[in-house]
Structure 1
Amino acid sequence: MTRKEKNLMYKYLKRTNALDTYLTQGINNNATIFFSIEREIKIQQIGTWHKNFNEVVNYLNSFITNSDCAKHGLVNLGKNFCIIRNEPLRWWIMGDSDKIISSLNTENAVNLDISHSWVKLNISGLNSEKLLLHHIPLDLRDKKFPIFNFKSSSIHNIGVKLLKNQKGYSLFLPRSFSVSIWKQLIKTADQYQYQIN
C-alpha cells in the first residue's frame, strides 16, 4: 500500500473504537478521575535484529534532537511524533511517522502499523494513580516512573502499556481485551468518583 493510499484510507474510513458504546460522557462535579479516549491514534512498530540494533538506533536518533532511542522506556519527543523503545528490539512511533517509515532501510528493520490493535485511554485527576495501583503492579512514584516514561505491565494477565505525561497517564489496552479491562477500571473508579470526557 502506498503512502497516498494509506492517507486516503485514514481520511475516509471512519475508525470505530472498541470502547465507543461503553463511554457515556457527562459531568460529575465531584470527579477525582477523568477518562478520555484518543480515537485517531497512529502507532507504527519497528522491529530489528541484534546485529542491526546500532544502525536502527542511529537512524531513529537522527529524527529527534537530544534523543536516546537506545534507552528502554524513554519517550523521545519529536515535532509531531514520539519514539519509544518498548521492547529490546522494538520501538513504537506514535503520531506522524511517514517521514521515518518512508526512508527506513528494510534490510535493517521492518515496520508494522499497529494503530488498530490498541486503544489509548487517557486517565488524569487527583486519584488517577490510586486507580491504576489497584490494577497495575508498578511503582508509579515520580522517582521510579518519571514523566515521559513508558512501561509494559499487565492487568489481570493481559499485557498493557502505560505512558506517564504531564497531564496524567495514557493506558494502551489491546483492542480485543479493552472492554473487559474498561469494566474493571470503571468498577474501581466508582469509589473515587469519575467523569468521562
Structure 2
Amino acid sequence: MQLILVRHGQPMDMADPKTGNPPLTELGHAQAQATAARLANEAIAALVASSLQRARQTAAPLAAALNLPLATEHRIGEIDRDGGRYQRIEAIRDEGREAWHAFLADPVGYFGGDGKIFLSDTLDGWHAIIETMLANPAERRATVAFSHGFPINILLNHALGLDGKFRFAPAYGSITRLIVLGWDRLSVLSLNETAHFPSV
C-alpha cells in the first residue's frame, strides 16, 4: 500500500503575525488543481487532511475529482493547528539573519510551541492513519494525506530512522510517496515530486 503525502499549496501571509491558519493564495489554488490532476487517475482508496484550511483547500480538487470523502486528522496539522501563530518560511527568511537562525535553532519553539509535544502528537496522528490503512489490507490502494512541512518531516524521519531535525524541504503542492508494510516498516518511494507543475 502507498501513503501519498501532499504538502499544501502556497498559503497567504497573515496580516497579523500572531495568528495562524491562513487560506491558500491564487497560486496555492492552482497548485492544488495541478496536484489533483496528477493524482486523479491513480488507485486511491481514501483521503485525509489536517484540520487547517490550507490543507483542506489543497485536498478539495482531488476529493471532487474522485468523489471521495475527506477525513480529518488534526494531529498531522502544522504548528498553528492548536491556535498558534504561523508565518511562511520564506517570510521568516526575509526578516533577516537573526530571525532565520532563531527559527532554525528551534522551529517549533519559534512559534511558541513545545517541540517534544508537537513531535509526539504528530507521530500519533501518522500512526493512526497507518493503522487505518493496515486494518484494510485487501484494499491495497493508496491513501492520500494532505499535510504540512514539519509533519511530513516528522514522518520521513521516522521512516528513515533519522533524528528529529527538520532536514527536508517539501515544495508547496509536492508529492512524497511511502510504501506501508507496518508502522515500523515504511519505505520512501519518492520525495518532493513536482513534475506536475509547469516549468517556469
Q: Which has the higher helix share?
A: 2
Calculate the TM-score normalised by the size of structure 2.
Answer: 0.28
